[in-house]
Chains A and B, each alone.
Chain A
Amino acid sequence: MKETIAELEEKARELRVSVIKTLHRSQSGHTGGSLSSIDMITALYFHKMRHDPRNPLWEERDRFILCKGHAAPAQYVALAAAGYFPKEDLMMLRRLGSHLQGHPDSKSTPGVEVCTGSLGQGLSMANGMALGLKLDGKGCRVYALLGDGELQEGQVWEAAMAAAHYRLDNLCALIDANSLQIDGEVAKVMNVAPIADKFRAFGWRTLEIDGHDMGEIVAALDNAETIKGAPTVIVARTVKGKGVSFFENKAAYHGVTPSDEELPRALECLGEQCNL
């Protein structure tokens, strides 16, 4: 297992590098939230989920919904690394005619299950998928990654209520709790704490982890799979901009991309030589 964790950590590092290069090229997109969620996305695509990049619509696949759709670059680099589409496509992020839209679009991108980007709607869609898979007697699991700022949307709590009501134990939500949103600290803009207590009160099982500790992420995902009769939420404490020291914990880097000057320093932080 240790080796697997080390491999996943290396994969996450590579994906961070890919996010930085992609966002430097596009000069548009969300850096901070992509970097805070990438360890969880790495664990899902390269460890936990059953999926087939050569057959994105394989019926037996586990589903992933990026509810916080603005972290699309994190999902796109994972999909490219997994082989859903050529890595060169990443350089077309957010360009006219590209299949990589600013926010995930199931019509455009292989491996993207639904359309997200308008916050608060993804968990409802995850519920629907989980219900549909249960109706068909399929053992597939549904993973939904939300931001902590996103929890301010009332629809999230409608969905939380419904997931517990329908005992969706094939559903696992992950909260990328990086504590920052566009206008500043989540606690100051509109406090959502205590997150786990709220979900527990809604009837969910909760796991609280360090969202950058690959061992904890993998253990929580494995653990969630064994919980029956209720949905599970993994509340992951994360750092916005994680991995690039001068982006870390800065709300200002929510929707700002690396400049030409920042690129080599960012790559250096990630242990990567800049040879562009």
Chain B
Amino acid sequence: MSNMIATRDAYGETLAELGGENKDIVVLDADLSGSTKTGVFAKKFPERFFNMGIAEANMVGTAAGLAAAGKIPFVSTFAIFAAGRAWEQIRQSVAYPKANVKIVPTHGGITVGEDGGSHQSVEDIAIMRAIPNMTVIVPADGPETKLAIRAAAAHKGPVYIRLGRNKVPTVFDDGYRFEIGKGVEVAAGTDLTFVTTGLMTAQAVTAAGLLKKEGVSARVVHIATIKPLDQEIILKAARETGAIVTAEEHSVIGGLGGAVAELLSEKHPVTVKRVGINDRFGTSGKAEELLKYFGLTPQDLVEAARETLAGKR
């Protein structure tokens, strides 16, 4: 974990590359192209960039129409305005007809920071995951974002990719191969497994290092694709380590933790602890402060691991 890249920067760069490779790629934004980094594409391909103004519902419907005309639309705004404001448009106009629309919001989670609870989406994974036909991806870092964006462009059908605002540590190197629907073990371990997504994967890797000093062997499984969930890698972790701690920058309700708990309670019940936002709205503050405030630091994961090991069946 060396350099720091914001997933939104990786997105902007990749989108502009893709635009040069495929003339069917079109991009829509709702007056946030500077923040979401779709502005990079807009500069290179102005004729294929549509600023839809501050009108997310219409933006999503327009994207569905462009897809029906054979285009591959990427739609960006902040996560809460995409998944939240335009949820039913995504359901009806995009997911129901399996329209080839890629919804790629930035500013997911509480690390949005100072803007506060109104702008911090902590529910989007849950509500996107509930929609049939929808694929939901939360990359861990810049390199994985680039691969996920390319995979989404090649995938036929609706995809939701949640990106963040801030620079995050890089977890994956050049040799990493991303596949939609596949989780990846980023640290080996035998006593318990952290099942994580987004920026919490880097936090879990750090936590696993701390636990090692206490003699605890923690595995880290990164789940970029929350739907469809890689059941195999999670069941394997449950069988082999017997305890699971999930971690996400999202509500503990309905996101990765929910998905993992649903799976394990039916197929291989083990002790599961969900680390995330505990059914609360976000608040203003610096990103680093908020990670502490909401209990999403490596130290919090270490404590969750201890608690989980104590209750291991």
Q: How far is the CB of A37 from chain B (nearest CB, A)?
A: 20
Instruction: Assess whether A178 is interfacial by the CB under 8 Å rule.
Output: no
Instruction: Assess whether A74 is interfacial by the CB under 8 Å rule.
Output: no
Q: B96 to A115, Cβ gap below 8 A?
A: yes
Q: A129 to B92, Cβ gap below 8 A?
A: no
Across-interface contacts of A113 in B (CB, < 8 A): 68
Complex-state Cα separation, A219 to B71, whole angstroms? 33
Q: Chain B 69-80 against A: per-residue CB contact (8 Å), 1 yes, 0 no?
A: 111010000000
Complex-state Cα separation, A63 to B271, whole angstroms? 55
* Stretch among A76-84, A87-95, A117-125, A193-201 lining the B interface: A117-125
**Given A113-B68, A125-B61, A118 contacting B88 (CB threshold 8 A):** yes
Instruction: Assess whether B174 is interfacial by the CB under 8 Å rule.
Output: no
4 additional A-B pairs beyond A105-B97, A128-B63, A131-B62, beta carbons within 8 Å, are: A114-B99, A127-B62, A128-B64, A135-B47
Complex-state Cα separation, A162 to B51, whole angstroms? 9
Q: How far is the CB of B27 from chain A (nearest CB, A)?
A: 12
Q: A158 to B50, Cβ gap below 8 A?
A: no
Interface centre among A63, A107, A158 (most CB of B within 10 A): A158
Across-interface contacts of A166 in B (CB, < 8 A): 50
Q: A132 to B97, Cβ gap below 8 A?
A: no
Residue of B nearest to A112 (CB): B97
**Given A105-B96, A135-B47, A159-B58, A125 contacting B68 (CB threshold 8 A):** yes
Q: How far is the CB of A178 from chain B (nearest CB, A)?
A: 23
Instruction: Assess whether B48 is interfacial by the CB under 8 Å rule.
Output: yes
Query: 28 A-B pairs, CB-CB below 8 angstroms?
Result: A63-B68, A106-B68, A107-B96, A113-B68, A114-B65, A114-B93, A117-B92, A121-B89, A121-B92, A124-B61, A124-B62, A124-B64, A124-B89, A128-B68, A128-B69, A129-B66, A130-B65, A131-B69, A132-B70, A135-B48, A135-B71, A136-B70, A155-B55, A158-B53, A159-B61, A162-B55, A165-B53, A166-B50
Instruction: Assess whether A161 is interfacial by the CB under 8 Å rule.
Output: yes
Across-interface contacts of A128 in B (CB, < 8 A): 61-69, 73
Q: B50 to A125, Cβ gap below 8 A?
A: no
Residue of B nearest to A120 (CB): B57
Across-interface contacts of A136 in B (CB, < 8 A): 69-70
Q: How far is the CB of B89 from chain A (nearest CB, A)?
A: 6
Instruction: Assess whether A224 is interfacial by the CB under 8 Å rule.
Output: no
Instruction: Assess whether A133 is interfacial by the CB under 8 Å rule.
Output: yes
**Given A114-B93, A118-B88, A124-B60, A129 contacting B69 (CB threshold 8 A):** yes
Instruction: Assess whether B26 is interfacial by the CB under 8 Å rule.
Output: yes
